[in-house]
């Protein structure tokens, strides 16, 4: 009998081949200066086309949204054309690919910003966090607070990115609202001290999220849109005094918009699965779409969670780095390669496109 994890799942009018999704993985291999994906990216993503759904590395919606060296964008015509080659390569292999739309907010450095300007954030509070500037890890710069009259421009940046993702041939988009980046900074009362309509109450702190969802779903069929949340993650120096109230509202906004999926970091980003199962289940009651569970899953836990209905799909991150054919390996209960952590960020083909599939391993044995 085939476990449910390896069975198809519908996402709106798409029928995805399995429930093993590829989580967004920042790999810092875009071209410097113009932030373009290139031939290596085409190969890398096409190799992983067996995923039920590939969600790309976080991709900045604007030059202002950039926070790390060598990360790709989706705000120029050249970037659209370069990503189109990636989606074409994935589609030729029969795969499905979603773009993750990203604005880092305060998790940036002046050297990465247009004209060396300060990064933007809900409030002028520096994060106790570091970023990669191309030479090494540096403290993030103190941001300036976005003015209220700048918010329509910010929303327009998301709209343009959503339009560009569609032009580039993506099958879906995921709004990044986790890991202490811009939307998450607005959500959390540790980083949002505003006194206008975007600060204070839960309704106000979720306003930007709601407006971004509204503008993205004006371009995309809502069932082709997802959001990434990390309700209990403190990544990049964010926290909230009442995460249950906050994320109950956030999930409800996604539900009311009719979104196709939520991508939920169950615990600390890239760290322990320390979120309470009861609290995760309580939050899930507010969303009836596809629930994608994420964070530290192995084969047994993934199968168990999908069989029980606690999740509809599982997003795997690091295991996809060293195993381009991860769904096949999991289904066959075959050995899973460890990836070389030294090649996760930056560099070229080594540790990126040179991991063998199961078939290739057998052929060379």
Distance separating alpha carbons of residues 362 and 358, to the nearest angstrom: 6
Q: Where are the beta strands (DSSP E) in the chain?
A: 9-11, 14-16, 20-22, 54-60, 97-102, 120-121, 130-132, 137-139, 144-145, 172-176, 225-229, 261-265, 290-294, 313-316
Distance separating alpha carbons of residues 98 and 55, to the nearest angstrom: 5
3-state secondary structure of 14: strand
Closest by alpha carbon to 193, among 128, 98, 131, 124?
124
Structure tokens at 169: 């041939």
**Quick check: is 345 catalytic?**
no
Of 181, 198, 291, 352, which is the active-site residue?
181
Distance separating alpha carbons of residues 317 and 311, to the nearest angstrom: 16
* Strand pairing report for 54-60 and 313-316: unpaired
Q: Tell me the CA distances in angstroms from 343 to 70, 80, 227, 283, 355, one per residue in order.
A: 14, 27, 28, 36, 12
* Positions marked catalytic: 181
């Amino acid at each position: 009998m085939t476990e449910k994890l390896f069975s198809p799942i519908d996402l709106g009018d798409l029928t995805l081949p399995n429930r093993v999704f590829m989580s967004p993985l920042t790999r810092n291999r875009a071209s410097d200066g113009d932030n373009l994906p290139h031939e290596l990216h085409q190969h890398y993503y096409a190799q992983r086309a067996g995923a039920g759904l590939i969600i790309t590395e976080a991709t900045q919606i604007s030059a202002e949204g950039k926070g790390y060296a060598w990360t790709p964008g989706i705000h120029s015509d050249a970037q659209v054309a370069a990503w189109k080659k990636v989606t074409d390569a994935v589609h030729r292999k029969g795969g499905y690919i979603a773009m993750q739309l990203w604005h880092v907010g305060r998790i940036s450095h002046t050297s990465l910003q247009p004209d060396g300007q300060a990064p933007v954030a809900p409030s002028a509070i520096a994060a106790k966090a570091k970023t990669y500037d191309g030479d090494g890890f540096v403290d993030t710069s103190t941001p300036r607070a976005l003015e209220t009259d700048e918010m329509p421009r910010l929303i327009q940046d998301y709209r343009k990115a959503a339009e560009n993702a569609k032009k580039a041939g993506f099958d879906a988009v995921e709004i990044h609202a986790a890991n202490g980046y811009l939307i998450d900074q607005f959500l959390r009362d540790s980083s949002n001290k505003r006194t206008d309509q975007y600060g204070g109450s839960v309704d106000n702190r979720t306003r930007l999220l709601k407006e971004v969802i509204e503008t993205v779903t004006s371009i995309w069929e809502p069932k082709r849109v997802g959001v990434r949340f990390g309700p209990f993650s403190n990544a990049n120096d964010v926290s909230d005094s009442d995460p249950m109230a906050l994320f109950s509202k956030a999930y409800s906004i996604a539900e009311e918009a009719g979104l196709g999926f939520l991508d939920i970091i169950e615990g600390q980003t890239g760290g322990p699965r320390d979120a309470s199962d009861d609290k995760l289940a309580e939050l899930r009651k507010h969303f009836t779409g596809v629930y994608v569970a994420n964070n530290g899953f192995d084969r047994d836990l993934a199968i168990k969670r999908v069989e029980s209905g606690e999740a509809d799909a599982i997003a795997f991150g690091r295991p996809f780095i060293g195993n381009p054919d991860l769904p096949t390996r999991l289904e066959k209960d075959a050995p899973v390669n460890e990836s070389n952590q030294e090649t996760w960020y930056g560099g070229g083909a080594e540790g990126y496109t040179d991991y063998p599939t199961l078939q290739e391993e057998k052929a060379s044995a």
